[in-house]
Amino acid sequence: MDRILIMGGRALHGEVHVSGSKNSALPILAATLLTAEPCVIHSVPDLSDTRYMLEILKYMGAKVELLDKNNVRIHAETIQSVAPYDLVRKMRASVCLLGPLIGRLKSCKVSVPGGCVIGPRPIDLHIKGLEALGAGITLEEGYVVSHATELHGARISMGGRYGSTVLGTDNVMMAAALAKGTTVIENAASEPEVVDLAEFLNAMGAQVSGQGTSTITVEGVDRLHGAEYRVIPDRIEAGTFLAAGAITRGELIVRNVVPAHIKAVTTLLEETGYNLSYGPDWIGIKRPGPTNARDVTTSPYPGFPTDMQAQIMALMAVTPGVSVITERVFPDRFMHVAELQRMGAKIDMEGATAVVKGVDAMSAAPVMASDLRASAALVLAGLVAGGVTEIRRVYHIDRGYEHIDEKLVKLGAKIERKPE
């Protein structure tokens, strides 16, 4: 288990290349189980989560060949129907195995993924949607067990208490691709990662339309074929590096990004006072003058992403003024608050709302990462804090950021990774 040491106070300068999207790559890798033909997936980020998914695919019977660290060939000619707890427990997103296994095999047994420190994320909407397609589902000793002879199209709603479910939409879309008839997914998630999966399915011969809107239509086909596909850039990594440039008062160009995918983040940074410039696949950031705190409320896409809430809180902690940050997607997602407070941040909690009073400076402290995005927030705070910040449990950040410490060092940060 590693820890990261950060010597703060160094402005970041230069260019950084964003990796492929983790949240796109995981369901796309799972979707390769829908066909017996080979698939080649490009721009797969080299992360612990993607490595876990590839191990799961191997266990399921697929042949996995790494062409290099970011490109993989998967041939799932024959697969088994059981995904055991020992594999699935390592990664919440492994729930997206349900859709392709039910779509292709009809019957399967998949362990229910474990809980998460940012709060419960039940799979009841996943099950509801798959049952509507004709999958008879039971929960047996911690496993989701499906029995079906045929899947049929249906009209299904994916709306939940805190908005549409992304992985639930993914699961239904994948299973419906091989169902008979037409499936209409209402209150569908419209995130770019859902669109990316839909485009991959279409590359395999599926007939999916409406992706990117709240209504997705899937015309079932008899079979899917192999395909070659490139995963979209990771919008959350892009947003995190923009926040890193902002918090260190540096000047960065973030490359391999789709600007439209992070408009909510860039709009907030511009309103805070940062000067942003844009190209077709890059965004530049620099601080031209005084900045002011802004309020933030998370919501499903195209709203402000919950996966950027912690990073923006770190930025607002050193921005003059008072910011009110409200979490409406995962109301319990505030584990980073106590660690930021240890570094001198002034944050008061009121239910699912944090009131952040900007301070002139933060100071280094030993802190502990509690989840993926919390760890990114602590890295940002460490970049600007006086002294040496020690971050433990950095395996969290390795789940979603490809070699982030190496990328930051190239931008001028002083970071060391050491064993615990």
116 is catalytic: yes
Q: Could you give the maximum distance between any two Cα atoms of the chain, in Å?
A: 64
CA nearest neighbour of 334 among 19, 117, 58: 117
Q: Which are the contacts of 40, defined by CB distance < 8 A and separation ≥ 6?
A: 67, 71, 72, 73, 74, 226, 227, 228, 229
Q: Write the single-letter amino acid at 294.
A: R
Q: Write the single-letter amino acid at 99.
A: G
Question: Hey, what's the torsion of the CAs at 127, 130, 133, 139, to 10 degrees?
Answer: -60
Q: Would you state the structure tokens that stand for residue 75, as one six-digit string? A: 């041939």
Q: Which are the contacts of 116, defined by CB distance < 8 A and separation ≥ 6?
A: 92, 371
Residue 410 three-state SS: helix
Catalytic residue among 39, 96, 108, 116: 116
Helix axes 309-316, 372-384, angle to 10 degrees: 20
Secondary structure element (H or E) that encloses residue 273, with its range: none
CA nearest neighbour of 242 among 268, 212, 280, 221: 268
DSSP 203-234: HTT-EEE-TTSSEEEEE--S-----EEEPPB-
Q: What are 276's strand-pairing partners? A: 285
Residues belonging to the active site: 116
